[in-house]
A and B are shown apart, each in its own frame.
Chain A
């Protein structure tokens, strides 16, 4: 499935670059625009910021499309551009504190349980946003985007060891926050 997707992406890129086929580019943008937005949102924690980052990342990716050597998948390459765009954007904005407007899915749980989990998730989310950028990024790419250790290392431009280190530091902090919330409730 991933391999098929990769082949299809490369076909669309060739079609656009060699044949000037705009519909191929459109297909590619439609395929990844939401995923780019989600990474941007999770990095920035704000919808408007995420919209700006998404646009910058996609425009930048298209402008650099001829530099894409197809050594990695297009998705990994695009994520790397998105992450760089997000980091640059956040650096430029001197890291604004943002209000997170998120809701939580409560499908088949009771109201109390749902509220507890919502609070837990909210505290986790706040903590995630407060993590150092690279730690946050490792969690976003591993947990939300489902990238492997190797892919995450490619996107972050560092070694797998560094990814593990960032990721485990982040999980440890989040785990502590979750445990604290649970303890608070038990008391």
Chain B
């Protein structure tokens, strides 16, 4: 009987708010029919529930929410780190682009080496059955040079001249 009384008291709130299932309502009403103590208790509770409580406006609640969230940035350390406002970050602005810059610089150095020391301009020239390497000669073009080349290599050479100072001789 004692436990039933406690169970009924636990159902008080739901009964007064009309949120109980039908069988629970029947259980409560059956108990109330024979228990004056519970009738009084329910009566007191029902009267208390009829009193409206003054509430602040939405502005108060919105401000409250912001205050609580801002306080969390200070009082919950790890979360503060994750949600901290953007601050100046030396790593982000100075060191993070370094790999990209380094890669670009390396490419540039390789290109310059290839151009200046690797004979980037020259290529393989097929002459009959022979493959000869181009030779870049920085000379003033004159008949003397042509004659000397003919003397030295006979017919086994060709000369490419693009109008500039370079003459390409292929063997």
A residues contacting B by CB (< 8 A) are 16-17, 19-20, 22, 25-26, 29-30, 33-34, 37-38, 41-42, 47, 51, 54-55, 58-59, 62-63, 65-66, 101-105, 117, 120-121, 124-125, 128, 139, 142-149, 164, 167, 171, 174-175, 178
Contact = CB atoms under 8 A, between A and B. Distances in A.
A175 B40 CA distance: 7
A142 B67 CA distance: 30
B51 A125 contact: yes
A125 to B, nearest CB: 6
B101 interface: no
| 8 closest residue pairs by CB, A with B | A20-B82, A146-B13, A63-B75, A143-B45, A59-B71, A174-B44, A58-B68, A62-B72
Interface of B: 6, 9-10, 12-14, 17, 40-41, 43-45, 47-56, 60-61, 64-65, 67-69, 71-72, 75-76, 78-79, 81-83
Main secondary structure of the interface of A (DSSP, over half): helix
Contact of A143 (B12, B55, B61, B67): B12
Given A20-B78, A62-B68, A148-B10, A104 B54 contact: no
Contact of A29 (B6, B50, B69, B76): B69
A115 B60 CA distance: 32
18 contacts: A16-B79, A20-B79, A26-B69, A37-B56, A38-B55, A41-B55, A51-B64, A55-B67, A58-B68, A59-B67, A66-B76, A102-B53, A117-B47, A117-B50, A121-B47, A121-B48, A143-B13, A146-B13
A47 B10 CA distance: 29
Main secondary structure of the interface of B (DSSP, over half): helix
Nearest to A36: B64
Contacts of B14: 146
A124 B49 CA distance: 11
B119 to A, nearest CB: 58
A47 B56 CA distance: 8
Nearest to B48: A143
Contact of B75 (A33, A37, A62): A62
Given A26-B69, A29-B65, A47-B54, A124 B47 contact: yes
Contacts of B71: 59, 62-63
